[in-house]
């Protein structure tokens, strides 16, 4: 094919638009497989915006796994002048909130009022045997076998600190599991639940003919269809619930990309979604036009994808910036990785390379699979002592341009500390306490932010400073401190300080749905190239994680690899006809 035979961008865009139109207009249950940058949020919103202003029969449920996606869909409706599509009988929300609102909460006792928590960290939930651990540290999972649904502790998913503590315990795992379930059940009796309990209750309710007869008629009369965005993130329990809804007569539209399934720890597997999609619909509607990345990045991404499919079609960009491979001498701390062919760090080398292509530092993204590989503020460590968690929160509010989600969690951390001192006898969540006092939660969070920001920099004796600040800080109305109750004791693990590099940093699981002009993916492991060239992405989640990372890039994708692997990687890229250069 000569250059004149190649389709123009206008022709490619028209073809991609036709795919979107077909997906938005599909009737009945369907599976929409969307490549990165295919505009699936646009398709979902367009499908919803086609609803009549006065619904003839019922509404539509749009559900996703993140609040960001939820807010994007709602914003699209409002921007189009269709605020009615955000209100009942329609529903736009997260998967957890959908299960809770329609399949779990309706059959919960009204007293005490049932509340859905983001996690057990929102309340003072503890498990006590010969050790004391936070209930939030003991992640539960569901095992589904036929008609049986069993809850158990996901032992292999516990953080290292919790595992070490349990290994030193004189109690068996079975005893700990029974204690965890007993503690959890006690909190449920007080009206508190998390997303795990919402799934467990939804499955049990839907599998009970007596309970389902109360839940299904309102659902079927309210919703003409349910659209599941990011369907590749569905766990086995999620798919089991969706299958029950489909079998009950609710049409399902699944929108997702199995190549971006990166939550195997939650039970999300690409093959499970594809098998389920085939059961509910014989139709797969592909979206293969990539409106985000260049042809080079599309070709790079295809090397990390299962099956012999051709690269996705870049329909907006024609830049041909080669993939940049940076031979790197990795250090234990992310900010100190050295560029093997210069005297700079690899971060500086990447920034300079991006600038040569007209890409500013604030349009660059640094990402990796693990926090330890990245520069930036310390991460929030599950299971850390409360003082260490507060020190992390302090580092967040003092970090310029800190992530909004991190700021929210930082304020919640400080709020829990203050509430623990002001209301030592209350075990409920800060939100529950605020509701009882008639105080907006936003007031508590503003107080918590100011308190946190005013604290001195963490140091080994920080506990005393925090305690003095807690006693001096103006309390909420109704506060009743009791001596030393609520004091955060111990020595904090002090977050390491890093220089402002002017670029965003986040692990891959945090950048899903994000994009940047230039993306640098850190690949520090010694088996990186062997894994890339020999493993199957359909069974190896690590490759799917890398796939998500490189497809965040709009113009430039860069890879930092151990210096002794750079040559092997470039040979592989050359064999796959991916334009590249060693930097």
d(CA 503, CA 474): 37
- Residue 26 banded pLDDT, cuts 50, 70, 90: confident
Q: What is the pLDDT of residue 1?
A: 39
52 is in an annotated binding site: no
Tokens of 20: 């979107």
Q: pTM of the predicted model, to two decimals?
A: 0.85
The answer to whether 140 and 184 have CB atoms below 8 angstroms apart is yes
Coil, helix or strand for 107?
Answer: helix
- What is the average per-residue pLDDT within 197-211? 95
- Determine whether the annotation assigns residue 36 to a binding site: yes
pLDDT category of residue 124 using cuts at 50, 70 and 90: confident
Flag whether pLDDT at 383 surpasses 70: no
Higher pLDDT, 484 or 405: 484
pLDDT at 254 over 70: yes
Whether the per-residue pLDDT at 379 is higher than 70: the answer is no
Strand 126-128 relative to strand 132-134, pairing: antiparallel
pLDDT band at 478 (very low <50, low <70, confident <90, very high): confident
Residues whose CB is less than 8 angstroms from the CB of residue 41 and which lie 6 or more positions away in sequence, other chains included: 69, 72, 73, 76, 229
412-436 pLDDT per residue, tens: 889 989 988 998 877 777 887 888 8
Beta-strand relationship, 364-368 and 553-562: unpaired
- Tell whether residue 489 is among the known ligand binding residues: no
- The percentage of residues in the chain with a pLDDT greater than 70, rounded to a whole number, is 95
138 or 57: whose pLDDT is higher? Answer: 138
Model confidence at 495, in pLDDT bands (50, 70, 90)? low
Categorize the per-residue pLDDT at 53 as very low, low, confident or very high, splitting at 50, 70 and 90: low
Q: What is the pLDDT of residue 489?
A: 81
- Split at pLDDT 50, 70, 90, the class of 319 is confident
% of the chain residues with pLDDT over 90:
54
305 has pLDDT over 70 = yes
More reliable by pLDDT, 20 or 404: 20
The annotation status of 38 as a binding-site residue, yes or no, is yes
Kindly tell me if the per-residue pLDDT of 4 is higher than 80.
Answer: no
Tokens, residue 544? 């799917």
Tokens of 167: 């290994």
Would you say residue 534 has pLDDT above 50?
A: yes
Task: Among 55-59, 393-397, 435-439, 478-482, name the one with the lowest average pLDDT.
Answer: 55-59
Find the range with the poorest average confidence among 156-160, 461-465, 534-538.
156-160
Tokens 């594809």 belong to 274
With residue 243 as reference, give the H or E element that holds it: helix 236-247
DSSP character for 484?
T
Q: Give tens-digit pLDDT for 81-110.
A: 999 999 999 999 999 999 999 999 999 999
End-to-end CA distance of the chain: 32
220 is in an annotated binding site: no
CA 302 – CA 473 distance, rounded (Å): 56
DSSP conformational letter for 248: T
Q: How confident is the model at residue 378 (pLDDT cuts 50, 70, 90)?
A: low
The stretch 174-185 carries a mean pLDDT of 96
pLDDT for 2 equals 43
At residue 382, the pLDDT reads 60
40 is in an annotated binding site: yes
Beta-carbon contacts of residue 385 (< 8 Å; ≥ 6 apart): 488, 490, 492
Q: What is the pLDDT of residues 206-251, one digit of tens each?
A: 999 999 999 999 999 999 999 999 999 999 999 999 999 999 999 9
User: What does pLDDT average to over the chain?
Assistant: 88
| Distance in angstroms (rounded) separating the CA atoms of residues 220 and 207 | 17
């Amino acid at each position: 094919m000569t250059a004149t035979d190649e389709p123009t961008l206008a022709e490619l865009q028209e073809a991609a638009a036709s795919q979107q139109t077909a997906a938005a207009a599909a009737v009945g249950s369907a599976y929409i497989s969307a490549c990165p940058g295919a505009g699936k949020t646009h398709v979902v919103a367009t499908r919803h915006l086609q609803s009549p202003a006065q619904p003839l029969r019922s509404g539509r449920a749009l559900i996703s796994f993140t609040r960001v996606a939820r807010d994007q869909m709602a914003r699209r409706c409002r921007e189009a002048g269709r605020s009615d599509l955000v209100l009942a009988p329609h529903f736009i929300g997260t998967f957890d909130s959908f299960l809770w609102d329609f399949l779990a909460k309706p059959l919960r006792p009204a007293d005490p009022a049932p509340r859905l928590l983001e996690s057990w960290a929102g309340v003072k939930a503890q498990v006590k045997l010969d050790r004391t651990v936070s209930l939030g540290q003991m992640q539960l999972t569901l095992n589904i076998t036929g008609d049986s649904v069993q809850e158990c502790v996901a032992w292999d998913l516990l953080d290292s600190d919790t595992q070490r503590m349990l290994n030193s315990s004189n109690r068996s795992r079975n005893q700990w599991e029974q204690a965890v379930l007993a503690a959890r059940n006690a909190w449920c009796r007080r009206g508190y639940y998390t997303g795990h309990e919402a799934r467990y209750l939804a499955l049990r309710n839907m599998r009970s003919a007596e309970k389902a007869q109360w839940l299904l008629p309102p659902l079927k009369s309210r919703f003409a269809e349910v659209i599941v965005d990011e369907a590749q993130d569905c766990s086995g329990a999620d798919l089991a619930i969706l299958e029950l809804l489909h079998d009950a007569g609710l049409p399902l539209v699944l929108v997702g990309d199995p190549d971006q399934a990166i939550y195997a720890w939650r039970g999300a597997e690409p093959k499970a979604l594809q098998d389920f999609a085939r059961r509910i619909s014989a139709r797969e509607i592909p979206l293969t036009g990539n409106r985000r990345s260049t042809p080079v990045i599309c070709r790079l991404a295809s090397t990390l994808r299962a099956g012999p499919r051709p690269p996705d079609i870049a329909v907006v960009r024609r830049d041909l910036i080669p993939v940049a491979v940076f031979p790197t001498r990795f250090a234990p701390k992310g900010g100190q990785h050295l560029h093997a062919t210069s005297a700079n760090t690899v971060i500086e080398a990447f920034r300079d390379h991006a600038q040569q292509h007209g890409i500013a530092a604030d349009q660059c993204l640094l990402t990796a699979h693990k926090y330890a590989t990245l520069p930036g503020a310390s991460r929030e460590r599950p299971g850390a002592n409360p003082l260490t968690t507060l020190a992390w929160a302090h580092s967040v509010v003092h970090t310029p341009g800190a992530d909004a989600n991190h700021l929210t969690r930082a304020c919640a951390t400080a709020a829990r500390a203050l509430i623990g001192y002001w209301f030592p006898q209350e075990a409920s969540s800060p939100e529950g306490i605020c509701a009882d006092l008639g105080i907006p939660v936003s007031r508590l969070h503003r107080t918590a932010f100011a308190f946190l920001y005013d604290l001195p920099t963490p140091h080994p004796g920080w506990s005393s400073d925090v305690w003095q600040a807690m006693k001096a800080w103006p309390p909420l109305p109704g506060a009743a401190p009791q001596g030393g109750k609520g004091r955060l004791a111990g020595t904090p693990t002090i977050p390491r300080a890093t220089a402002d590099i002017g670029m965003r940093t986040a692990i891959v699981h945090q950048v899903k749905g994000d994009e940047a002009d230039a993306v640098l993916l850190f690949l520090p492991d010694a088996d990186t190239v062997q894994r890339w060239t020999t493993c199957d992405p359909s069974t190896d989640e690590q490759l799917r994680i890398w796939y998500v990372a490189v497809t965040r890039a709009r113009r430039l994708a860069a890879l930092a690899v151990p210096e002794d692997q750079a040559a092997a990687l470039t040979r592989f890229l050359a064999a796959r006809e991916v334009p590249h250069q060693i930097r």
